[in-house]
Amino acid sequence: MSRLPEPPGAVSGRPNCRDSDAVDMEAVLLIGIQGSGKSTFYRERFFDTHVRINLDMLRTRSREKILLQACLAARQPFVVDNTNVRAAERKVYIEAAKAAGFKVVGYYFVPDAGGALRRNRARQGRKAVPVPGVLGTLKRLEPPLPEEGFDELYEVEIGADGFVVSP
Ligand SMILES: Nc1ncnc2c1ncn2[C@@H]1O[C@H](COP(=O)(O)OP(=O)(O)O)[C@@H](O)[C@H]1O
Ligand SMILES: [Mg+2]
């Protein structure tokens, strides 16, 4: 079978792999208690470009792992939209992403327990998390540090006009 000509920008010998893939390979970790705005942030900024990995949706760690491995193998950018409050939880994604050559970017939703509880209460149906659950997550929260392996780490707060992101 004859080979198709390589498209412009292709990496030599790998016709389906372009140089630009290198910059596109990004693993994003959202870090914040329930109601801090993580999933909304995902929808606003990453919906068109990144696969969403979310334990509430996937239901088991086993299914989550399958999707994570698929993103890594496909060189597909993704966002881990879990609370990710413990450094040990984050380590799993950071190590796997780095080993696959991904850039790792963190967004830390600075805790605002009052606001999170208010927003959480306003949610409909099964999405609302009981107050002790939110406070428990807040207690377990270990703020992310660059030393964990983040290539970029930002803080996110909810301002009057939406999300405010700062380095
Ligand atoms: N920037 C924002 N400004 C106002 N309300 C917001 C904002 N982001 C999220 N919310 C609201 O707060 C609630 C929780 O947001 P969500 O994105 O589901 O948080 P999380 O995924 O961190 O639990 C939702 O009802 C959402 O509409
Ligand atoms: Mg969410």
- Residue 147: CATH number of its domain: 3.40.50.300
What residue owns the CA closest to ligand 1's atom 19?
A: 37
- Give the separation between CA 160 and CA 19, rounded to whole angstroms: 40
Rg (CA), the chain: 18
Average pLDDT, the chain: 89
Ligand 1 centre distance from Cα of residue 32 (Å): 11
- Decide if 16 is inside a domain: no
Give the residue numbers spanning the domain of 140: 23-166
- Decide if 89 is inside a domain: yes
- Decide if 152 is inside a domain: yes
Average pLDDT over every residue of 140-166? 97
Encoding tokens for residue 55? 């334990």
Cβ-proximal residues to 46 (8 Å cutoff; 6+ apart), any chain: 28, 52, 77, 79
- Decide if 12 is inside a domain: no
pLDDT at 121: 86
Task: Outline where the chain has alpha helix (H).
Answer: 21-24, 38-45, 55-58, 61-74, 87-99, 113-121, 131-140
Q: Quick one: what percent of the chain has pLDDT higher than 90? A: 78
What residue owns the CA closest to ligand 1's atom 10?
A: 37
What residue owns the CA closest to ligand 1's atom 8?
A: 37
- Decide if 36 is inside a domain: yes
Q: Quick one: what percent of the chain has pLDDT higher than 70? A: 84
Lining residues, ligand 1, CB within 6 Å: 32, 34-40, 119, 122-123, 158, 162-163
Encoding tokens for residue 7? 């498209």
Q: What confidence category does residue 82 fall into, taking pLDDT thresholds of 50, 70 and 90?
A: very high
What is the number of structural domains in the chain? 1
- Atom in ligand 1 nearest the alpha carbon of residue 81: 21
Handedness of CA 19, 97, 76, 1 (dihedral sign): positive
Q: Tell me the C-alpha to C-alpha distance, in Å, between residue 81 and each of 23, 29, 33, 141, 161.
A: 21, 7, 11, 15, 22
pTM surpassing 0.85?
yes
Q: What confidence category does residue 122 fall into, taking pLDDT thresholds of 50, 70 and 90?
A: confident
pLDDT at 107: 98
pLDDT at 43: 98
